[in-house]
Amino acid sequence: MQGGRFRRGKRGALKIVPEGKESRARIRARCRKVAAEFDKSQPLSTEEMEVAARQLLAEMELGEGYVGWTMVVLASEFWRDQVAAVPPRRRLFLVPQRMEHLDSCAGECDRLRLDGKRCGACCMAEFQSKAEVLGYQVLVTEGSPLVLQTILSGSVDAIVGVSCLNVLEKAIDKILLAGIPCMAVPLLSNDCNGMSVDEDWVEEMIRLSQGGSGVRTRTYLHLMRAADRLFSPEELERIAPRLRQGPSLSQVNGQGLGGLEPIAATEAIAYDFLTKGGKHSRPFITLAAYDALTGAKGTQADGARHLRSLPDAIRRTALSIETFHKASLVHDDVEDDDAFRYGDPTLHRKFGTATAINVGDYLIGLGYRLVSREAATLGPDVVSDILDCLADAHMKLSEGQGAELVWRDARDKSLKPSDALAIYALKTAPAFEAALYSGLRLAGPAEQYLEPVKQLAKNLGVAFQILNDLKDWHGDENNKRASGGDVFGGRPTVLWALALESLSDEDRADMVSLIDCDVADRETLLRVRQLYMSAGVFETAGQLVDDYQKRAEDIAKGFQPGDLRRLLYYLIDTVLERPAEPVSAIVSTSLQTELSVAAKS
């Protein structure tokens, strides 16, 4: 099981929309028959969808260019009955973004209908209105984070959507892997430039009658919600009550630290930061690993009820993993002088460097206390083993971060790819290892898992960090980082190391001289990007991600029981979520645009 293969290849070539309504209807009918043969008790993986889609197209003597479109239709048919089982008021309807011209074209719609044609945006607005009347929640498709946030809120149990293939993949792929009932009708333009759609299919989808079979696919949704709920102010206060009992930052009406009693201020800032942002993937890993070894009841239809009965000691251990992560973010932001975190000013920019460092230290202490005080409930051996793993992870992370800081401040900017990867293994892998091991140890003896967990976490962590390096060239809206921030922040990346290894002596000296400058202007960024492109580092790094992912998947194959193995495959696929297009293609297009602009100016 190696999910995401078609995401890595000739993406555009595999996303052709079949021409002709009759052709699309034929493929859709075959998808319905194929989907009826699937085992609905387990989520449909990306690989299973791709294999089935390719086989279906081959049997129909159709080209592989329709693979992406067929996968969307196949997944929709897989989930049809389970979407039908969800009341419309618990469904989310995703609509396309490109509806901005509605006001200007509204007066033309009647005339267009007389001609037998319809404005796509106006048509979509009608579907939105119909869905709202039926009780649907409606959201403009903007990718998986916003969709996932809505799902985690607990108000939605199924998704139906309309968009182009590129956006559908980006918004729904992870949600399908999580086992959330989902259907979609692709637009007839695969690049989101048009709004035409098979209208009768959309009408059928949003009016899907409530009913459906009794089969329920296992889902990680309940566990995801349980991890997310840990960080609501109410639940956080319940399982980890504040000792100082002072007001929270939100209760001092914008007075900031001036509205807090001095001794209670650190606690108030720390708790406020714990409730802000983040995917909470680490506490999810802990809860899900524990669940996988105790019957996987949290993934079943009544998983929400089961998870409400979990001992608070389990919740506190999962919570502790995130407090360590949040502490490392506070300290990293100080060390890198980053301006934003979760879309807000970083703590050191808001409250000062000394206060931020102190809050990070407080979060570390809180993390250890959340586990150490559960010996009576969990047993002293369990607590000792988990604390030892957490301490080891904490020390390795500090070593990795220390190596990065030493390199950043050194005059010699030489770096081997192997050294960059070693830093990644220390900085990122321990967090995955600690989260996974803690969940397994909470369920019972875990000696048999120690070494494979360590190796899987290493490969997953390194791949994750390389992927982050690549994503740095996209920028980061959440943290308001510009593209190329790692270069000018002085962080040692495998991209830098690969460029040093491949460039000529002249180009290598040129690249090193660029980061010696204090000015990170557009021209400098453009030149670094050119050098990276000429060295082929984006393609090489992308291949490294694939290689490390394959190693992680090979290790996951050996895990037992099956519920744990499935969880590991899911983690690998979701943690290593790729951008909508290969980074090399995005950067190349961006580079050409920049060069064109520069030439004109």
Phi, psi angle pair for 356, to nearest 5°: -65, -45
| 308 to 34, 222, 230, 290, 303: CA distances (angstroms) | 37, 10, 11, 14, 9
**Using CA atoms, how far apart are residues 173 and 92, in angstroms rounded to an integer?**
16
Contact indicator for 465, 428 with CB cutoff of 8 Å: yes
Provide the strand spans (E) within 292-404.
340-341, 344-345
**Mean pLDDT calculated for residue range 14-35:** 93
Q: Which strands form 137-140's sheet, in the order they lie side by side?
A: 137-140, 91-95, 158-163, 182-186
Residues 260-299: tens digit of each pLDDT: 888 999 999 999 999 998 889 999 999 999 999 999 999 9
- Tokens encoding 217: 């696919």
- The pLDDT confidence band at residue 4, using thresholds 50, 70 and 90, is very low
Q: Is the pLDDT of residue 329 over 70?
A: yes
**Mean pLDDT calculated for residue range 569-578:** 87
> Which residues lie below 8 Å from residue 40, measured CB to CB, with a gap of 6+?
78, 81, 82, 213, 215, 216, 217
pLDDT of residue 98: 58
**Using CA atoms, how far apart are residues 275 and 229, in angstroms rounded to an integer?**
10
Over its C-alpha atoms, the chain yields an Rg (Å, rounded) of 25
- The pLDDT confidence band at residue 145, using thresholds 50, 70 and 90, is low
Q: Is the pLDDT of residue 11 over 60?
A: no
> Which residues lie below 8 Å from residue 130, measured CB to CB, with a gap of 6+?
203, 206, 207
Phi, psi angle pair for 215, to nearest 5°: -70, 135
pLDDT of residue 340: 92
- The pLDDT confidence band at residue 49, using thresholds 50, 70 and 90, is confident
Q: What letter does residue 576 receive in the DSSP assignment? A: T
> Which residues lie below 8 Å from residue 114, measured CB to CB, with a gap of 6+?
none
Decide which of 44 and 99 is more confident: 44
pLDDT of residue 573: 87
**Mean pLDDT calculated for residue range 391-416:** 93
pLDDT of residue 9: 43
b/e for 325-351, b at 16 or more Cβ within 10 A?
Answer: bbbbbbbbbbbbebebbeeeebbbbeb
Q: What letter does residue 343 receive in the DSSP assignment? A: T
pLDDT of residue 245: 81
Dihedral sign (CA 223, 228, 231, 237): negative
C-alpha dihedral (55, 57, 60, 62), degrees to nearest 10: -140
State the average pLDDT for the chain: 85
Helices and strands in the chain: count of H runs, count of E runs? 30, 6
Decide which of 458 and 4 is more confident: 458
- Residue 240: name the closest of 348, 317, 173, 170 by CA: 317
Top-confidence range, 65-79, 180-194, 371-385, 507-521: 371-385
Q: Is the pLDDT of residue 442 over 80?
A: yes
**Using CA atoms, how far apart are residues 76 and 181, in angstroms rounded to an integer?**
9
- Residue 185: name the closest of 5, 21, 42 by CA: 21
**Using CA atoms, how far apart are residues 207 and 188, in angstroms rounded to an integer?**
21
**Mean pLDDT calculated for residue range 252-256:** 70
**Using CA atoms, how far apart are residues 77 and 196, in angstroms rounded to an integer?**
21
Contact indicator for 327, 364 with CB cutoff of 8 Å: yes
Alpha helices in 183-300 (DSSP H): 199-206, 221-229, 233-239, 262-274, 281-292
Percent residues over pLDDT 70 in the chain: 83
pLDDT of residue 111: 44
Residues 160-186: tens digit of each pLDDT: 988 877 766 665 566 667 788 889 999
Contact indicator for 335, 405 with CB cutoff of 8 Å: yes
pLDDT of residue 8: 42
pTM for this structure? 0.86
